[in-house]
Amino acid sequence: MEKFKPKIVINNAGFGQFGEFSKMDEEEIIGMIKVNIEALTYITRVAMEHMEKGYILNISSVASCHPMKNLAVYSGTKAYVEHFTRSLQRENTKNIRISYLLLGPTRTAFFEKANMPTKNIEKIMLSPEKVAKNAVEKLLRGKRRIVLGFLYKLYCFLR
């Protein structure tokens, strides 16, 4: 891996599961922690080790901004992503810009796979194409905390 010198790393792997914590399948809980926390942490570590300069964008969620009923594990793992990234921003001495995206509900298969109802949020869901374009633009401009959409900025500001 000596020749591995990434310029941009976007840690977008993750999944959620909607439901009451005490009734969730143990394997789902462990899987969510492994993907949302362990994999992101490992990828970030390897990237930073091999990067001379560049950008890292860790995908968190607006679910991390407030405790959320039926999303305890998911919102907890995404809070980790935010705090982990903010800590790295403070200790990073390399020429690497590290940012995090507090992603709002986006039109993807996430909700179906998480068994999460979308009835009340369909009208305010973000377009995945616009999310990708705007998040990368803000990353390349050096924005450290990225929240897309006024509603989601307000939601995360009011914590």
Query: What secondary structure letter does DSSP report for 10?
Result: E
Exactly one of 78, 80, 100, 138 is catalytic; name it.
Answer: 78
Rounding to the nearest 10 degrees, give the CA dihedral for residues 112, 151, 80, 58: 80
With vertex at residue 77, the alpha carbon angle to CA 137 and CA 128, rounded to the nearest 5 degrees, is 35
Spot the catalytic one: 61, 64, 74, 152: 74
Catalytic residue among 60, 64, 75, 99: 60
The alpha carbon of 63 is separated from its chain's Cα centroid by a whole number of angstroms, namely 10
Q: Is 64 a catalytic residue?
A: no
> Tokens standing for 110?
């996430």
- Beta strand 145-147 with 95-103 is parallel
Q: Is 78 a catalytic residue?
A: yes
Q: Exposed, middle or buried, 42 (CB in 10 Å: 0-12/13-18/19+)?
A: exposed
Q: Is position 74 annotated as part of the catalytic site?
A: yes
Active site residues: 60, 74, 78
